[in-house]
Structure 1
Amino acid sequence: MDSNKKYWKGLEELNKTPEFVEKNKHEFAEPIPIEEVLESGGLLGKTPRRDFLKALGFGVGAVTLAACEKVPVHKSIPYLIKPEEVTPGVANYYSSSYDGHAILVKTREGRPIKVEGNPNDLLSNGGLSAQAQASVLDLYDVSRVKNPMQDGADSDWDHIDAFIKNELTAIKAAGKKIRIVSSTINSPSTLAVIADFVAQYPTAKHINYDAVSYTGIIQANQNSFGKAVVPHYNFDKADVIVSFGADFLGTWISPTEFIGQYVKNRNNKSLQSKKMSRHIQFETGMSNTGSNADVRIPILLSEEGIALVNLYNAISGTTLAGSKKLDNAAAENAITLAGKELLAAKGKALVVAGSNDVAVQTLVNAINSLLGSYGATIDLDNASNQYAGNDAEFVEFVSDMDKGDVGAVFFLGANPAYDYHSGDAIKAALKKVRLRVSFSDYTDETASLCNIIAPNHYYLESWGDSSAIEGYYTVVQPTINPVYNTRQAEQSLLVWSDNAVKDYYTYVRNNWDKNLLAKGGLSGQKGWETLLQTGFVKAAAKPAGSYTFSHELTAVAQTILDHSNELAAANGDKTKVQLQIFQTIALRDGSRANNPWLQELPDPVSKVTWGNFAAMSPRYAKSLELEQGDIITITANNYSIDLPVLIQPGQPAGTIAVAVGYGRTKAGLVGDKVGENAYPFHTFRNGTFQTTAVATIKATGEQSELAQTQTHHSYEGRNSIIRETTFTEYKKNPYAASGHFDDHKTYSLWDEYERPTYNWVMAIDLNACTGCGACVVACSAENNVPVVGKDEVRRRREMHWIRIDRYYSFNEKGSLITKESEINQLSDGDLDNVSVVYQPMLCQHCDHAPCETVCPVLATVHSSEGLNHMAYNRCIGTRYCANNCPYKVRRFNWFNYWNDSRFDNYLNNEHTQLVLNPDVVTRFRGVMEKCSMCIQRIQAGKLKAKIEKRSVKDGDIKVACQQTCPANAIVFGNVNDPNSEVAKALKSERTYYVLEELNVQPGIGYQVKVRNRTELEA
């Protein structure tokens, strides 16, 4: 390993900008102005402790009221008559389902406080996404609709039912069309309810509409193989993966599932067997998947289609009509080499594309057919049910409304007034519809245009089921009675269609008894109870068939090349740019924009929070005389928005990338007016919604500082933070990159102590970590970490106990630049081609912890089990410990985030407080906090073992970040147990310790990052 390898977190650090240098002269964020101190009432703040329940827009009054009327969860402790299932101080867990994944919901005293992955989930084996982890918070959102509404005023269910039934009768008699517009529904019971409703009203039709569409894949499979499905991809069965803009580790189709598959061929176990898959990514904007690739090739949007055609030519040995070489020599060479790699891995190869264009996906099908991927890495017979949107059907529906043919429309999980590319067309057409009903539990952009809002239960209040993958069925069960006066949408449809079964629980139960329990070998009441415990059933998988593509590709290739030429029209014109629309991992399609945990989660690549931006390359920004934060006007499709510029290494010049999911106007207290809406930049072309366009840009002369976290925690120029190697070098010498050969004597100023029973440590595999951020949200949910908001993030005051550091390094013709002198000679164009490494960083629980020696009040001390503890009652806020921490992982409470009225829009309100974990104290102003290794989980695990009169077993205790990680990149345990997973991981030849040379003896060992890139470097 070359210890001179240069890594940098952001361009300001690389270029040593005056602002960066000045900020890093100060150990801490900007001090609090005295007027802020006085305004907040001094050190402890002016807000009474009990008033902290009134703060963010999430609350106790309504929850208690609902509980008083309907459920026992409101009862104070001690109970006069204790509910059988509730033991004060002891958590209950309920199996349920989120996004098709089997989950466990942790409740305390009747209130859900944490979502965890079900370890037996067949899709992710217990891993969860950041969105799933954050979902529990939405239950307590005071922005939710609290009662059914008619014409903007509160109503009651009896009145709503009578009104809608009368309207439907009249509309049915008039022969007008009735439409149920929903986001993709894969619940067997919900689909059955809709089918019953359609039977009652024959002019009714169900339309699936997804804001982020996969119609291109569905239609391409229909055209190619007669199967209108999204395939089930098996990345774990692929030795070579080539992706064209598909962010399958971030946002594409089923990323939580795909992460687990992907790392199976790249983690400790695989590397020790000297096996590793190869991943090549061609893309424009730097995605989470691209940043994890072994080789990432930056290409223009106009080059993507040409590159795909050329890959087909390289694999098939033919030349499609209209083919041409790329001007990008590096990309053209990579295509040739990728073709050879794929052919060599025939039967274990996989090509995917992120485009929603039917022609592009058809060509991908042809390539995968040549590679023998069907029946191996691609399964069309056990297909995914996660996306079923039909773009053309929805466009036809809008036209029908505009013509006055639609008499009633019901919106279920769909918000087209916000996320359709022509929201104005939706608004105008809806005015011509007699009955407009939204099931949204928010008065969102579409619901506000409806004359009826029949608010749906939240999923944690609901009965139901899901089938994300054909043959895999998960159950949804309520973990709390309804917080507000809502009703399940399915039950409303049952009532309005005069169904014989009026109660949706009974309907679900009947459906499982008749159709689904038998698929898992279950039946009757006992089978139902077993289902509620396990959370799912799995039918026997169908044999995955092989499919041969045999269609003419001339017209397909021409369609692809024509669109490439349209995008290329922007080349050479400084006022025009190739525009790419994408999703962020945190907000995805924007439906969860009112969740503060997600808004404050830094994007893995950009590290930006609280808003979107226009990402462009350093070279392109320089040519336009733009700097980071400069606001530009972007215009495309007769629509304009103003966004700040983000200088993004790894993005080709002449392109910009903008995220959807922002710019909400009726999301709620948290999400309104955060960023700008990029959905109108979508185009409807060739029967699908597509995410590329030619745009014009113009500087406004204004500036806006991004809330970006990437350089907030500096290591003061220290090296040896990140260590990486190539797979070839690893096979030659597995120990080289980790520095295990550096045997040197160490000296200690500390007394050493025995830890005979427990010595808690952690191992983090950098080759498995994809930077997805799920661990950050899981930690916040488990440990009551506050949200501070955009302005405080700008001041470097974010409170996350675990952060994901993103490091860049340079590529030069596939090699790594290591010397400072070489960096200084680089042109701006070299910044278009960089590598990225992610590193989770949290308190290292050092055995020789430098924080402990400087604390004047012994607020931070070492335990007999190897952990660094914080006694918050003792802390007086000197911040000496943070100053002395080389890892910069301690967080100072500048304000009483949980009870200061200035944070009302984040987590400080009467309902949100109900999500707090009662086993973890909320910290107050003026104290330091940090990762505790989930000490409450450790204690709970030891207590359980004691009650069961046994010793703690490996795996009994999982910290929150470990439990949620879809990649199993984080392992925690007792290193005194030589057979423990963590002990084995730390014995890996790839293990190293960050800043090991300081001899602080950290308790977290990292495994070296390995990239399988040698063949493409040759």
Structure 2
Amino acid sequence: MPRAGRDHAGRLPVSVAQDGLVRGLSPPAPERPQVPGQHGLPGLSPLEGRVSDSIVFNRRDFLRLVGIGVAGAAAGCATPRSDRLIPYLVAPNDIMPGVAYWYASTCRECPVGCGLLVKTREGRAIKVEGNPQHPVNQGGLCARGQAGLQGLYDPDRLRTPMVKQGGAWKPIPWDEGLTLAASKLGEAIKAKRGVALMTDHAPGSAQALAAEWAAAAGATHLVYEPFAHESLREANRRTFGRAEIPTFDFARAHCVVSFGADFLETWLSPVGHARGFAAMRARRDGSGPFVSVEPRLSLTGANADEWVAIRPGREAVLALGMARVILTETLRPAGPDHGRLLDAVASYAPEMVEQQTEVPADTVRRLARMFARQWPSLAVAGGIAAQSEQSVALIAAVNLLNHAAGNTGETVRFDRTLDFDAVASFSDLQRLMGEMSQGRMDVLVVQGANPAYAVPAWAGFGAAMDKVLFKISLAGTLDETSDRCDLILPATHALESLGDARTARGVSSIIQPSMQRLPMFDARPAGDTLIALAKGAGFGGRFPETWADYLKAQWAPIHQRLGAGRDFPTFWNDTLKNGGVWEPEAATPVRWAGTPAFATAEPKGAGDLTLVLYPSATLYDGRGANKPWLQELPDPTSKAVWGSWVEIHPETAAKLGLKAGDPVKVETEAGALELPAYLYAGLRPDVIAVPLGQGHTAYGRNASGRGVNALALLSPAQDAASGAIAYLSTKAKLARGIQAMDLVVTQREKDQHDRGFAEVVPLTALLAAASASPGAQVTARPQTPAGHPEEPIPPLPSQTRLGTHTSPLAPVPGRKAPVHAITAYEPEQHTRGPRNLPIDQGSYGKAEHRWAMAIDLDACTGCAACVVACSAENNVPSVGPELIKRGREMMWIRIERWEESLKPGASDVRFVPMMCQHCGDAPCETVCPVYATYHNPEGLNAQVYNRCVGTRYCSNNCPYKVRSFNWFDYAAPEKETFAFPEPLNWQLNPDVTVRNKGVMEKCTMCIQRILEAKGIAKDEERTLRDGEFQTACAQSCPTQAITFGDLADPESAVHRVSFGERRYWVLNELNTKPGVTYLKRVRRDAGLA
């Protein structure tokens, strides 16, 4: 009976016999016995193993002895290799080794449902990218979406059904598990006892099946999502008559004011918002200012031109004050609702607004006039600021502001609404918990939700759940909710399942398996499990036999509507190929339905500090906590990893004698926690902030025991109008803690000290340069709306105009720069002729390309999607908090955060993606004693791993500090945490070497993608096309801030971008001639006037 074997890279199983031999191959020949003295050295005693005293060595024998000794010592240091390579015995017909296959699917790491393209090699999913055709994300993908691959290969996934016996989990076969669950369901239904089905938010066929299942069983169905946007839906119902979530068109807006909405992090659709936001910022017509109104400067606020540090809970007052100025001064044409709106805001004069919000009256007027004149504009309210006890009033006030400014139907549209209609409010969950607590529920089935972790302790979900007689979990991992159940029937991961997602009106996305189910995980699709339970319990007559049949039946109406004459199999195959079907947006008129009552709410409890709890930009609500890529991804504000912290204003910390990293006790009326202190000037002195997402008691090795669950600090409070939980409702007090704890951060210094790492240019200077150079070339970034040019680009120099280009750095006297080091600031040293013709590169005269990169800091939001994309593409290991604490992180890209000003007003925070600069005159190359790092003919700073001996001279000599050293063999199979524990090693990219201990590594500009594209072009007998391949970081960037290509091609995008007015090079004074050009961030002070 053959057994399954697999190599170190996690490739597909191959057939290996029990004795370890491949059948059909000859066994290894037995070793010949060694004859003493035969082929040995003279005088070497086989018994004593030493050289005889009487022997005299000649030179040849001595060298032979030394050679054997060196070889033996080297062999002892070598990495153990596999004994034999085992080929396919029967090659699969649909897989060609070495060729990547792509499958369209949908991301399920958050409710929005971005389109995916899943890359597979030899039957394994190894990378996910955004689907450029998908209307939600248009090819971009956030860090959480990139890390979804680690959920598929999670070593802590449940491997078989489990039943709890005597408080311990025991494996159980599937048929026994289904029989047990069906019998419990049948008994409860027959006795007319309560049954409840709780699912996560999965709009589409899965949600329809759950609703039908509950109706057939007479059960209660509740769709649970921790951030359900109840207040947004209720406010829209009261003001627009539509309890829906509209489309916020950032790309069309000329000005944005955010009232606490972290739309670049976790609010609604961050990737889609980021793409639109970058389009707005790309305009160079004087528009595009962004103002953030919030008590804590979030990542979204860090991208703003102005920060209004408002009192927590008073955002609605400012919105109404701005609306009053617009209406009283008639800054926009008066509409039919002008009178009603003016009556509603009559009492909100700027002076009164100043008293309640601490925002000066002149600032209120200035913001209102800017908001009205930069039309169409956009105001959004969401995030934690919109989850107070008066959150509906805040969003209604912002709706009124948009309506007064004429933005309804322009930048606030209801033509492609997000589908949150079925998601329950927190009040709905409380009603279900009440029935559970009273013993009315005999059976509870939980699919995909984890309320035992995400619901605050004061609500008592855990205690209510314990009152249910029998609890069934359809989960993939043993999370906190599953751990409280009696039976677990494991569900497959989205990347190995069939399904769909209809997250927005007119957007029907497909979820398809990108690979076969992993053999070590005996899981089934949740839809198949629900159907089997219904049939086993006697109420499944209406359901087909399989989940796939149900899914296709759900798509029959879509086929009738959009089939365009195709039969269903053809339509279905086209849908699988494209990732879904997208209907055109239908114009939806919106009217003003009424003006609700406005009110404010003050946080409650003892203490003089307001507690702000916010969803983590990396872990979201905690569902990403068991993915090491996300745990090791630095928080965009604190740069902390693998834990929790409390943000404290330096003035507040000084009063308590606290410094960064000190233990702090945070106490509220709900409880107390100790956390390390992070001193952050980007919040009000009367505010402290703690991120959510950590503090798991289950969920896997990377999540359990990391940090704290900050929900333990939340006071019992809700918004009465919507039933939403009020996250911004708690007062707190601080004291010095007693537990020693570490704050592990990757960047401690955030002051540039005038070193020019991140530079800015005023928008007024760009506009002046444009008017002064009427003959200049004008370009726009790809996401720039038509008719809105970027900045002028001076005419490019050529060989016929030598000396007309002024380099920002004068050449060093007596030193001739290598002519092959082509850079954007040395155009006179090479020919910019027809594309892809050989260019003059010194000793590399036949080289056709000069690979380079340009990074637009005005488009970069600091989201760090590029960091995870790079790790996924290049097999970068996660090393864990202990090694990061010692400065041994391994990521090839870091997002540097530089805080020029965190004061309220014109705040200035800059983000710089920093990777290997691929210098034309690289300091690392000159110090390597074994030539492991060198400059290749196409301008890349290459690294030869098997030549590297680990001196680390290159790292010491690199001014950018972008090289990482492998202190351990992170890919060793015995490692159970971090790196690649089985089966996490299945995700490794076979095109990229897995580095060993003692090897230096860094960014390669995805050389494997370059070589793949060259091979395809060669096979097709053509030259490379610009843009036909991208680096992993450029491909994932939601804002298209990174441009990669051939700098020697004058028609390439990177060539055009690299010669803009905003170009500069980091540490340019060192004359390293970087291959990465940065574009300065644009400061829009004039737009705020």
> Normalization by structure 2: what TM-score?
0.80
CA drift of 1:170 comes to: 2.0
SS at match of 1:725: strand
SS at match of 1:775: helix
SS at match of 1:231: strand
CA drift of 1:297 comes to: 1.9
CA distance in 1, matches of 2:1024, 2:809: 35
Q: What is the aligned counterpart of 2:412 among 369, 378, 392?
A: 378
**What corresponds to 2:530 in structure 1?**
493
The change in CA–CA distance for 1:961 and 1:812 in structure 2 (over 3 A counts) is closer
**What corresponds to 1:987 in structure 2?**
1059
Whether 1:180 aligns to 2:197 is yes
Q: Which has the higher contact order (CA 8 A, sep 6+)?
A: 1
CA drift of 1:726 comes to: 2.3
Q: What is the aligned counterpart of 1:700 among 710, 728, 737?
A: 737
Q: What is the aligned counterpart of 1:86 among 81, 85, 95?
A: 95
CA drift of 1:161 comes to: 2.0
CA drift of 1:813 comes to: 8.1
The change in CA–CA distance for 1:811 and 1:586 in structure 2 (over 3 A counts) is closer
Check conservation: 2:378, 2:412, Cα contact below 8 A. Answer: no
Q: What is the aligned counterpart of 2:292 among 263, 267, 281?
A: 281
CA drift of 1:700 comes to: 1.5
CA distance in 2, matches of 1:860, 1:114: 27
Q: What is the aligned counterpart of 2:594 among 550, 553, 569?
A: 550
SS at match of 1:414: coil
- Correspondences of 1:193-212 after superposition (within 5 Å): 193-201=209-217, 203-212=218-227
The change in CA–CA distance for 1:517 and 1:94 in structure 2 (over 3 A counts) is farther
SS at match of 1:733: helix
CA drift of 1:331 comes to: 5.3
Whether 1:509 aligns to 2:541 is no
Whether 1:861 aligns to 2:952 is no
CA drift of 1:702 comes to: 4.3
CA distance in 2, matches of 1:292, 1:713: 16
CA drift of 1:509 comes to: 2.1
CA distance in 1, matches of 2:561, 2:86: 42
**What corresponds to 1:777 in structure 2?**
868
CA distance in 2, matches of 1:780, 1:895: 17
CA distance in 1, matches of 2:449, 2:652: 37
Whether 1:459 aligns to 2:482 is no
Identity %, equivalent residues: 34
Check conservation: 1:958, 1:972, Cα contact below 8 A. Answer: yes
The change in CA–CA distance for 1:803 and 1:331 in structure 2 (over 3 A counts) is farther
Whether 1:220 aligns to 2:235 is yes
CA distance in 2, matches of 1:742, 1:422: 63
CA distance in 1, matches of 2:151, 2:704: 15
**What corresponds to 2:205 in structure 1?**
189
Note the alpha carbon deviations across 1:804-830, whole angstroms, 9 max, x for none: 000011367857xxxxxxxxxxxxxxx
CA distance in 2, matches of 1:981, 1:595: 35
Report how many residues are paired. Answer: 917
Segment of structure 1 superposing worse, 460-469 or 503-512: 503-512
Check conservation: 1:862, 1:869, Cα contact below 8 A. Answer: yes
Whether 1:726 aligns to 2:762 is yes
Check conservation: 2:416, 2:505, Cα contact below 8 A. Answer: yes
2:88 maps to amino acid: Y
Check conservation: 2:966, 2:997, Cα contact below 8 A. Answer: yes
1:491 maps to amino acid: D
Check conservation: 2:197, 2:214, Cα contact below 8 A. Answer: no
Whether 1:887 aligns to 2:951 is no
Note the alpha carbon deviations across 1:821-867, whole angstroms, 9 max, x for none: xxxxxxxxxxxxx4200010100101111111111110000111110
CA drift of 1:656 comes to: 0.5
Q: What is the aligned counterpart of 2:318 among 283, 289, 307?
A: 307
The change in CA–CA distance for 1:525 and 1:84 in structure 2 (over 3 A counts) is same
CA distance in 1, matches of 2:397, 2:698: 40
Whether 1:480 aligns to 2:508 is no
Check conservation: 1:850, 1:1000, Cα contact below 8 A. Answer: yes
Q: What is the aligned counterpart of 2:437 among 402, 415, 418?
A: 402
Check conservation: 1:353, 1:364, Cα contact below 8 A. Answer: no
SS at match of 1:106: strand
> Normalization by structure 1: what TM-score?
0.86
Note the alpha carbon deviations across 1:41-94, whole angstroms, 9 max, x for none: xxxxxxxxx99969xxxx8999999xxxxxxxxx99632332222111111111
SS at match of 2:725: strand
**What corresponds to 1:36 in structure 2?**
none
Segment of structure 1 superposing worse, 290-299 or 150-159: 150-159
CA distance in 2, matches of 1:307, 1:703: 42
Check conservation: 1:610, 1:674, Cα contact below 8 A. Answer: yes
**What corresponds to 2:50 in structure 1?**
none
Note the alpha carbon deviations across 1:253-285, whole angstroms, 9 max, x for none: 110110001001223xx33xx354111001122
CA drift of 1:796 comes to: 1.1
**What corresponds to 2:379 in structure 1?**
350
**What corresponds to 1:247 in structure 2?**
262
**What corresponds to 2:705 in structure 1?**
673
- Correspondences of 1:410-449 after superposition (within 5 Å): 410-422=445-457, 425-449=460-484
CA distance in 1, matches of 2:190, 2:427: 28
SS at match of 1:676: coil
Q: What is the aligned counterpart of 2:106 among 84, 93, 97?
A: 97
Rg (Cα) greater in structure: 2
CA distance in 1, matches of 2:899, 2:857: 14
Q: What is the aligned counterpart of 1:144 among 146, 149, 157?
A: 157
CA distance in 1, matches of 2:307, 2:873: 36
1:557 maps to amino acid: F
The change in CA–CA distance for 1:744 and 1:696 in structure 2 (over 3 A counts) is closer
The change in CA–CA distance for 1:62 and 1:677 in structure 2 (over 3 A counts) is farther
CA distance in 1, matches of 2:251, 2:666: 40
CA drift of 1:468 comes to: 1.9
**What corresponds to 1:798 in structure 2?**
889
1:481 maps to amino acid: Q
**What corresponds to 1:38 in structure 2?**
none
SS at match of 2:231: helix
Q: What is the aligned counterpart of 1:122 among 110, 135, 145?
A: 135
The change in CA–CA distance for 1:713 and 1:195 in structure 2 (over 3 A counts) is closer
The change in CA–CA distance for 1:244 and 1:723 in structure 2 (over 3 A counts) is same
CA distance in 1, matches of 2:159, 2:669: 38
The runs of at least 4 consecutive aligned structure 1 residues that moved more than 4 Å come to: 50-54, 59-65, 318-323, 327-332, 712-715, 734-744, 811-815
CA drift of 1:895 comes to: 1.7
CA distance in 2, matches of 1:93, 1:77: 26
2:223 maps to amino acid: N
CA distance in 2, matches of 1:718, 1:378: 41
Unaligned runs of 5+ in 2: 17-83, 329-341, 774-790, 795-804, 821-839, 842-846
CA distance in 1, matches of 2:323, 2:233: 21
**What corresponds to 2:173 in structure 1?**
156
Check conservation: 2:316, 2:395, Cα contact below 8 A. Answer: no
Note the alpha carbon deviations across 1:653-708, whole angstroms, 9 max, x for none: 01101111100010101111111001234444122112111122221244433111
Check conservation: 1:712, 1:796, Cα contact below 8 A. Answer: no
Whether 1:528 aligns to 2:590 is no
CA distance in 1, matches of 2:697, 2:683: 30
**What corresponds to 1:966 in structure 2?**
1038
Check conservation: 2:198, 2:223, Cα contact below 8 A. Answer: yes
**What corresponds to 1:11 in structure 2?**
none
CA distance in 2, matches of 1:581, 1:110: 42
**What corresponds to 2:79 in structure 1?**
none
The change in CA–CA distance for 1:645 and 1:915 in structure 2 (over 3 A counts) is same
Segment of structure 1 superposing worse, 366-375 or 456-465: 366-375
**What corresponds to 2:626 in structure 1?**
594
CA drift of 1:912 comes to: 1.0
CA distance in 2, matches of 1:517, 1:275: 48
The change in CA–CA distance for 1:491 and 1:689 in structure 2 (over 3 A counts) is same
Check conservation: 1:351, 1:367, Cα contact below 8 A. Answer: no
CA drift of 1:321 comes to: 5.1
- Correspondences of 1:250-329 after superposition (within 5 Å): 250-267=265-282, 270-271=283-284, 274-317=285-328, 318=342, 319=345, 324-326=352-354
Whether 1:622 aligns to 2:649 is no
CA drift of 1:316 comes to: 3.9
